[in-house]
Chain A
Amino acid sequence: MPRLIKHGAIVEDDWLPAQEDGAGDAHILTLEQWTQRADKQGLAVQLEPGQAPSPLFDVLQEIPLVAINFPVFTDGRGFSYGRELRERGFAGELRACGHILPDQMTYLRRCGFDAFQLADESRLEEALAGLADFDEYYQASIDQPLPLFRRRG
């Protein structure tokens, strides 16, 4: 079973990874597969870079999990995707997967991600530690909606 970080702990995945053919309801669906399903209730979907999350906005309540893939860790589009989903009220699991580094964990968390599936599982421990790299920030973000200037004494 693939493992990932969820709610601050390393756990086993209850979802099957996205795949091109023969994906069932237990799989995370690609955006194409998800779009073709008439009844979207309870289906998970994965976005790739270049697939902006706007098609999901109308049905956010029905989606239990949105996975955002980072094929290379330097492609930062997913940070904006995650944040936009949360800003529009998405309350399900927001998962970053792919080539993400322990060093990006704080950024991801702050953009609203609460699950982290590193392609390289041997780095899960480091990634878990990475979540605590920073505990103070200037900007407003999903996990701290007030910018520092509104919190400074």
Chain B
Amino acid sequence: MYVYDEYDQRIVDQRVTQFRGQTERFLAGKLTEAEFLPLRLQNGLYIQRLAPMLRIAVPYGLLSSNKLRKLAHITRVYDKGYAHVSTRQNIQLNWPRLEEVPDILADLASVQMHAIQTSGNCIRNTTTDQYAGVATDELEDPRPYCEIIRQWSTLHPEFAFLPRKFKIAVCGTTEDRAAIYAHDIGVELVANASGEIGCKILAGGGLGRTPVIGAVICEWLDKKHLLTYLEAILRVYNQNGRRDNKFKARIKILVKAMGVDAFREAVEQEWAALKDGPSTLTEQEIERAKSFFTDPPYVALDGDAAGESLRLQGEQDPIFGNWVRRNTLEHRVPGYRIVNVSLKATGFAPGDITDSQLDLVAELADLYSFGEVRTTHQQNLVLADVQADQLYALWQRLQAAGLATPNHGYLTDIICCPGGDYCSLANAKSIPVAEAIQARFDDLDYLYDLGPIELNISGCMNACGHHHIGHIGILGVDKKGQEFYQVCLGGSQAKDASIGKILGPSFSQEDMPGIIERILQTYLDLRDEEETFLDTYRRVGIEPFKERVYAKAD
């Protein structure tokens, strides 16, 4: 994990001091509401429906046990004893008091954390694959590049007041787990014809009101040019992105309006002036960044033997065996497994975690996973480096704390934004819909029979719950002051990314579990043997689903 030196610490500390001053000036009436708003947003502070909400940055989803403990402490002291993992791998507090936010930021800074640029019209937290560094299908670890981008984008003097928010994702794997096609900029580590690894650059992807799949701007870029190239894209966007209409202000609209070729040309033109300048990455800097993401001291293990004893343990305790099958994944190092810690227990808001659970996960990370934890955009946690022969002990502790729901990747592993319960932008509540669906489909055998299904819920067009790219997406809409839900099908965030299609007229909240049931039944009736939901949908199209869902009850 990246460790701050005196420079990083100084920058973050100075930011805390600056924000303390801003808060004081605001409370003293020296900064207007309208002026304080963008300033506090750039420190992650929203004013929500019920209280402020503070979004804490978790750069590319990586946390250490001491950071988790500090978060537990913060939720206890300044909040109501729980936090929320967001779909951007950040951590949100729902009940901080405005006057105390500077103190919270100071506490965070003491463990090398901050809330810089977690909101506002600036470059946001860079995200990546939650299995970076341990995935079996990885070409190169993306985290050093995420850290390089994090530093470059932190308090960038030119890009703090962009037309709109700006999100960058990086991936280095065959399977895209970072949804790079749905970001303002996507960076994929790819090999060129001679086998050298460089960056493929996508731009103009995004969800929200007008979902768009990003276009390839550069097929292969030498890594040393990464920052100057990003800078050129941002410069074109900062100067030309629309500022007259917030719904047309994202870079995707600019790329569409200019056309991909003209946009690329404008970028190349800007880049010509920046290329090979001082921001060109040095070999030394890339190596320095890489040095923070080296392998932990893995023990040499016999992978086959470990797999066999795990199988036997699973036979003796089928509940454990099932959890291993569902919530753990193959690790690139023999004898190790990747563990998903589920934050999707029925009856709890997806992604919520209590202070004592945070402390527990910190302890388990120290005991079993080299003290590191990751947050995922599916709103779960990951212990990435667990020895197979320690899984049983780990599982018992997780199970006792309600963190072992064996639904990873299945229907009830719902991605869900905070919605109308917390968010002032919401059209409708999202958490109760998620909870009702989880309650309706709590039969695990049925879930497993359905196979992998991603169900995503957003409370409004802003699409924080990524509903467009869920296999099943649910969007809260407002119909004459009433909360309704629109359903879309067939979205995907994988490399074959697609945007879901709207099924038809929206439904009431009570109807939602029944509607989902009809959709699932349609799939079960139509699927060919091994087909997943998405396969079937892609083969048969939306019509059969439409017919069944809107059929008059007979």
A80 and B239 within 8 A (CB): yes
Shortest distance between the CB of B288 and any CB in chain A (Å): 7
A148 to B7, CA, bound (A): 9
- Is B157 positioned at the interface, with any CB of A under 8 Å from its CB? yes
Shortest distance between the CB of B316 and any CB in chain A (Å): 53
B273 and A147 within 8 A (CB): no
A9 to B162, CA, bound (A): 29
- Is A139 positioned at the interface, with any CB of B under 8 Å from its CB? yes
Indicate with 1 or 0, residue by residue over B5-46, a CB within 8 angstroms of chain A CB atoms. Answer: 101001100110110001001000011000100110000000
A103: which B residues are within 8 A, CB to CB? 18, 22, 39
A134 and B151 within 8 A (CB): no
Given known contacts A76-B159, A134-B14, A139-B152, A152 and B7 CB-to-CB distance under 8 angstroms: yes
Shortest distance between the CB of B329 and any CB in chain A (Å): 34
- Is A145 positioned at the interface, with any CB of B under 8 Å from its CB? yes
Contact of A145 among B22, B30, B162, B278 (CB under 8 A): B278
B5 and A74 within 8 A (CB): no
- Is A97 positioned at the interface, with any CB of B under 8 Å from its CB? no
Of all chain A residues, the one with the shortest Cβ separation from B228 is A140
Q: Most chain-B Cβ atoms within 10 A of its Cβ — which of A52, A149, A152?
A: A149
Of all chain A residues, the one with the shortest Cβ separation from B39 is A103
Q: Most chain-B Cβ atoms within 10 A of its Cβ — which of A83, A139, A145?
A: A139
- Is A15 positioned at the interface, with any CB of B under 8 Å from its CB? no
Of all chain A residues, the one with the shortest Cβ separation from B281 is A149
A95: which B residues are within 8 A, CB to CB? none
Given known contacts A139-B156, A140-B277, A76 and B161 CB-to-CB distance under 8 angstroms: yes
- Is B521 positioned at the interface, with any CB of A under 8 Å from its CB? no
A76 to B159, CA, bound (A): 7
B152: which A residues are within 8 A, CB to CB? 138-139, 147
Within 8 A of B (CB), among A57-98: 73-77, 79-81, 83, 87
A150: which B residues are within 8 A, CB to CB? 278, 282, 285
- Is B155 positioned at the interface, with any CB of A under 8 Å from its CB? yes
B157 and A79 within 8 A (CB): yes
A33: which B residues are within 8 A, CB to CB? none
- Is A101 positioned at the interface, with any CB of B under 8 Å from its CB? yes
- Is B528 positioned at the interface, with any CB of A under 8 Å from its CB? no
B35: which A residues are within 8 A, CB to CB? 73, 101
Given known contacts A133-B18, A136-B14, A148 and B151 CB-to-CB distance under 8 angstroms: yes
Given known contacts A79-B158, A103-B39, A135 and B238 CB-to-CB distance under 8 angstroms: no
Contact of B38 among A74, A106, A138 (CB under 8 A): A74
A152: which B residues are within 8 A, CB to CB? 5, 7, 288
A83 to B157, CA, bound (A): 10
A133 to B22, CA, bound (A): 11
Of all chain A residues, the one with the shortest Cβ separation from B11 is A136
Given known contacts A75-B243, A133-B18, A138 and B154 CB-to-CB distance under 8 angstroms: yes
Given known contacts A136-B7, A138-B152, A77 and B239 CB-to-CB distance under 8 angstroms: yes
B7 and A111 within 8 A (CB): no
A87 and B273 within 8 A (CB): yes
A111 to B30, CA, bound (A): 26
Within 8 A of B (CB), among A97-149: 101, 103-104, 106-108, 110-111, 126, 133-141, 145-149
Given known contacts A75-B243, A77-B238, A101-B39, A135 and B18 CB-to-CB distance under 8 angstroms: no
A49 to B22, CA, bound (A): 26
A141: which B residues are within 8 A, CB to CB? 157-158
Shortest distance between the CB of B236 and any CB in chain A (Å): 9
Of all chain B residues, the one with the shortest Cβ separation from A83 is B158
B282: which A residues are within 8 A, CB to CB? 149-150
- Is B279 positioned at the interface, with any CB of A under 8 Å from its CB? yes
Given known contacts A75-B243, A137-B11, A146 and B278 CB-to-CB distance under 8 angstroms: yes
14 contacts between A and B (CB under 8 A): A77-B239, A77-B243, A80-B235, A83-B158, A103-B39, A104-B160, A107-B155, A107-B157, A107-B160, A134-B11, A137-B11, A139-B156, A141-B157, A147-B152
